[in-house]
Chain A
Amino acid sequence: MLLLIAQGQTAMTPSTTPEAVPGGTLLLVAYAVAWTVVLFYVFTLWRKSKRIQDDLADVTSKLNARAGKR
């Protein structure tokens, strides 16, 4: 279904005014942005996960200590 949407419009030759910026540069920038965004997101996930794991270990040990005392 997604490809149907992707192919929903007929191919036409666009009327182009040639751009000063070379296509290769744009491609590189696009790749760089994609990788940067994804890796940054993975990094934030890792950081969040680490913080939660640490806190969880901390609280769990406190709970166990209290249970041990009783």
Chain B
Amino acid sequence: MVPALLVIAAILLAGSPFVVDAAPYEASMGIVSKIFYFHVPFAAAMLTSTFVSGIASAIYLIRRKPVADFVALAAAELVTVFGVVVLVSGPLWARKAWGVWWVWDPRLTMTLVMWMIFAAYLILRRFGGPGSEVLSAVVSIFGMAVAPFVYWSVNMWRTMHPQTSVVPTLPSSMAEPLWWCMAAIFSLYAALLLVRVGIERNRAALEAAYIALED
């Protein structure tokens, strides 16, 4: 399963520069708008990962199945890793488009808050001591629940104070390269998730082996 996913991801990713290059220029912004072709998929994958982590955490909290905890942890790591890409590529685009590094628009803000929540999840796992698996599951569930609230509240705030700079949409003529990149990045995401879960499984096996050795 994993090797197949990796091959698919590799092929799609290798093809993406050509696909993106062939896409028409966006009129007002020129070449910088091509950042969207991977900024959007990475953001979509990151948001998906917050839900994967939250749902896995809920399952872990109710059923205490170790694999659910592994998935929650792996997904949380991917939220932060993919989040870095989103939070760097977004401002780089914004700098060109509006001359500022950051705007408090709902999507970027939600991304930032989600990143902070799941980075906090990882910090809790690492430094919280024994029992952190259960505690972090609660954090993950709340993180997932809060995502729409952050979007909603920032959106309401923005509509009350209309801004001159608004994050634009991609015209539909550019949909095909976007779908290609979406497929590429989502298969990368799935591959990384499975690999990471496998590592956690091995780590659990290792701990069990250590305990068996001490008997």
A residues lining the B interface (CB < 8 Å): 2-3, 5-7, 9-17, 19, 21, 23-24, 26-27, 29-31, 33-34, 37-38, 41-42, 45, 48-49, 52-53, 55-56, 59-60, 62-63, 66
Q: Are B93 and A55 in contact (CB under 8 A)?
A: no
B93: chain A residues at CB < 8 Å are: 26, 30
Measured CB to CB, the nearest residue on chain B to A52 is B202
Q: Are B81 and A15 in contact (CB under 8 A)?
A: no
A55: chain B residues at CB < 8 Å are: 206
Q: B40 contacts which of A6, A42, A45 (Cβ < 8 Å)?
A: A6
Q: Are A63 and B209 in contact (CB under 8 A)?
A: yes
Q: Are A34 and B32 in contact (CB under 8 A)?
A: no
A34: chain B residues at CB < 8 Å are: 38, 42, 85, 88-89
Top 8 nearest A-B pairs by Cβ distance? A23-B32, A59-B209, A30-B89, A11-B168, A34-B85, A30-B92, A2-B44, A17-B99
Proximity bits, B184-215, A CB within 8 Å = 1, else 0: 00001000100110110011011001101100
B residues lining the A interface (CB < 8 Å): 28-32, 34-35, 38-40, 42, 44, 47-48, 77, 81, 84-85, 88-89, 92-93, 95-99, 105, 107, 151, 164-171, 188, 192, 195-196, 198-199, 202-203, 205-206, 209-210, 212-213
Q: A38 contacts which of B35, B188, B206, B209 (Cβ < 8 Å)?
A: B188
A2: chain B residues at CB < 8 Å are: 44, 47-48
A56: chain B residues at CB < 8 Å are: 202, 205-206, 209
Q: Decide: A13 near B38, CB < 8 A? Known: A26-B92, A33-B85, A56-B205.
A: no
B47: chain A residues at CB < 8 Å are: 2
B166: chain A residues at CB < 8 Å are: 9-10, 12, 14
A11: chain B residues at CB < 8 Å are: 168-169, 171
Q: A60 to B208, alpha carbons, bound, how many Å? A: 11
Q: B199 contacts which of A13, A41, A49 (Cβ < 8 Å)?
A: A49
A–B Cβ pairs within 8 angstroms, 12 of them: A9-B105, A10-B166, A12-B166, A16-B97, A17-B98, A21-B96, A23-B31, A30-B89, A45-B199, A48-B199, A53-B202, A59-B210
Q: A21 to B92, alpha carbons, bound, how many Å? A: 10
